[in-house]
Amino acid sequence: MVPDDDGRADAALAGVLAAFQTGEVTVAEVLTALGPARLLVPVVALLTEAEVGPDGLKREKESEMALPKLVGQDGRMAVLAFTSVEALTRWRADARPIQASASQVCKAALHERAAAVVIDVAGPAPFAVEGSMLHAMAAIEDAAALKNLDVDVPGVTVARFEPPAPKKKSWWRR
């Protein structure tokens, strides 16, 4: 998705998430920043079969890669996503990052029957996409879903996210 990705958080998204934590920006502004941003979805090894070696020690025989989910106290599940490798390793150092757009992560969450996507669960600025926001973000880039989104998710305004235009450099300062 993003060639030569160095794993750092998108500066604009990180700034908006931090500003949301202090009440300086709205949820709509966070969703707008999420639209074009790259997120990292964690994948972890899940032991499926083990064996005991001749020395009596248990060893991994087979494992699968799995998408971990967060389960809330109320039993609802959430898919995790991170803005950077640093934020991902703060949560779990052995997780491997997979690049995805916010829309792809939200689609995956709905496919997994999760109630939310939690971004940067271990900080620096956690944010949950849930309810109508989750459905709206999942519908981005899907023309058929966008066409019926206002019917399927009452109260949602349909919008497309466009990457910001590159800023022209100024040769002088005012």
Q: Does residue 63 carry a pLDDT above 70? A: no
At 44 the pLDDT is: 87
Calculate helix-pair angle for 132-139, 102-111, nearest 10 degrees. 120
Q: Which of 19-23, 60-64, 110-114 shows the lowest mean pLDDT across its residues?
A: 60-64
Averaged pLDDT score across all residues of the chain? 82
The mean per-residue pLDDT over the stretch 51-73 comes to: 81
State how far the Cα of 59 lies from the Cα of 42, in Å rounded to an integer: 24
In angstroms and rounded to an integer, the radius of gyration of the C-alpha atoms of the chain is 19
User: With left for phi above 0 and alpha for psi between -120 and 50, is residue 153 left, alpha or beta?
Assistant: beta
- Quick: pLDDT tens for 80-93: 999 999 999 999 99
Question: Which residue, among 40, 132, 113, has the nearest Cα to 71 in the 3D structure?
Answer: 113
At 109 the pLDDT is: 95
At 86 the pLDDT is: 96
Residue scoring higher pLDDT (30 or 4):
30
Q: Does residue 171 carry a pLDDT above 50? A: no
SS (H, E, C) the chain: CCCCCCCCCCHHHHHHHHHHHCCCCCHHHHHHHHCCCEEEEEEEEEEEEEEECCCCCEEEEEEEEECCEEECCCCCEEEEEECCHHHHHHHCCCCEEEEEEHHHHHHHHHHCCCCEEEECCCCCCCEEEECHHHHHHHHCCCHHHHHHHHHHCCCCCCCCCCCCCCCCCCCCCC
Q: Does residue 173 carry a pLDDT above 90? A: no
- Quick: pLDDT tens for 114-169: 999 999 999 999 999 999 999 989 988 654 555 555 555 555 555 544 455 555 54
At 165 the pLDDT is: 53
Residue 97 — pLDDT band, cuts 50, 70, 90? Answer: very high
At 4 the pLDDT is: 83
